[in-house]
Amino acid sequence: MLDKKKRYGFLPGCSLSSYHPEAVAKTVEYLNLSFPEFSAILKCCGKPTKDIGQYELYQRRFRGLLEDMEDTGVEEMIFACPNCKASSESDMEIPAHSLYAILQQNGLPEEVKGKAKDSDMVFTIHDSCSARFDQAAQDGVRFILKELGYHYVESEYAREKTKCCGYGGQVQTVNPELFKKVMKRRIETLEPYPVVVYCSTCRSAFLQNGVKAWHILDLIWGPVVYAKDKPNPDVLATPDKVWHNRFETREQIKKVMEIL
């Protein structure tokens, strides 16, 4: 249950900030209006260093996140990225929530409800491996699709049976061939429809392998998607665009929060 007497914090995560500044800013605006006490935090949770065994560096980076949470008085934390949530919640002393569970509990903005009721698009859903046992996040994503008016078909390997997109554990960086093998296996186990994800790196993995994929926040804040439409380009494959978008995310959040 949401306790709106508490201060909630929001961490969009590095990959979402790199992909879609506008979606992050609109999400921050929504949360800022929903919670009387609210803070947005731009920080790396440190998971990539944790994945490759650099635990000391991970602890330093994660400690920086904890310090920002303490400085802003955050009592409960909301994560957009399932990787950030899975990596961080075991090391936190305060409750951690998936953004998509929060959206289900708090409700979508009235202006987006049912906006896709006339869309001919049919999706399937890829649950991130880091959210394999996060039923609240899984339910939230499906609630959002229904509230927006989109149709979707579940694959056999969904929820707790989901398979990795190939990005997990920095595999693409250290073993590109294994990444391709794992990604191919995942594609073969999905239903033959465009994919909805709630992890930006999962979206990038699908796009790199010719599969049309949309982030759930694209569908909430962006235009209605039809079967003929193409997804946004794979920004995460372009390093200079990634860093530009991170800067742009910061600037847009500052405007929303009216921070000088």
pLDDT tens-digit map of 239-248? 899 999 999 9
Are the CB atoms for 29 and 249 separated by under 8 Å?
no
Q: Which residue has the higher pLDDT, 17 or 258?
A: 17
**Residue 177 confidence class, pLDDT cut points 50, 70, 90:** confident
**Residue 8 confidence class, pLDDT cut points 50, 70, 90:** very high
Residue 172 confidence (pLDDT) above 80: no
**Residue 166 confidence class, pLDDT cut points 50, 70, 90:** confident
Mean pLDDT lowest for which of 99-108, 142-151, 184-193, 225-234?
184-193
Which residues contact residue 19 at a Cβ distance below 8 angstroms, ignoring those fewer than 6 apart?
Answer: 200, 203, 204, 215, 235, 236, 245
**Structural domains of the chain, ranges and CATH numbers in brackets:** 7-107+238-257 (3.40.50), 111-235 (no CATH)
In order of 199, 208, 216, the CA distances from 145 in angstroms are 15, 24, 8
**Residue 179 confidence class, pLDDT cut points 50, 70, 90:** confident
Backbone angles phi, psi at 249, to 5 degrees: -60, -45
| pLDDT score, position 178 | 87
**Residue 80 confidence class, pLDDT cut points 50, 70, 90:** very high
Are the CB atoms for 193 and 119 separated by under 8 Å?
no
Buried residues in 182-213 as b, exposed as e (16+ CB within 10 A): bbeebbeebbebbbbbbbbbbbbbbbbbebbb
The string of pLDDT tens digits covering residues 33-59 is 999 999 999 999 999 888 888 989 999
Region 21-29 average pLDDT = 98
| pLDDT score, position 203 | 96
In order of 19, 79, 89, 172, the CA distances from 201 in angstroms are 9, 15, 20, 11
Residue 205 confidence (pLDDT) above 70: yes
Are the CB atoms for 162 and 127 separated by under 8 Å?
yes
| pLDDT score, position 14 | 95
| pLDDT score, position 245 | 97
Locus of tokens 């998971």: 47
**Residue 168 confidence class, pLDDT cut points 50, 70, 90:** confident
| pLDDT score, position 20 | 98
Mean of all residue pLDDT scores within the chain: 94
Residue 191 confidence (pLDDT) above 80: yes
Task: Please give the share of the chain, as a percent, with pLDDT higher than 90.
Answer: 85
Residue 260 confidence (pLDDT) above 60: no
How far apart CA 200 and CA 127 sit, in angstroms, is 12
Say whether 78 sits in a helix, a strand or coil: strand
| pLDDT score, position 96 | 97
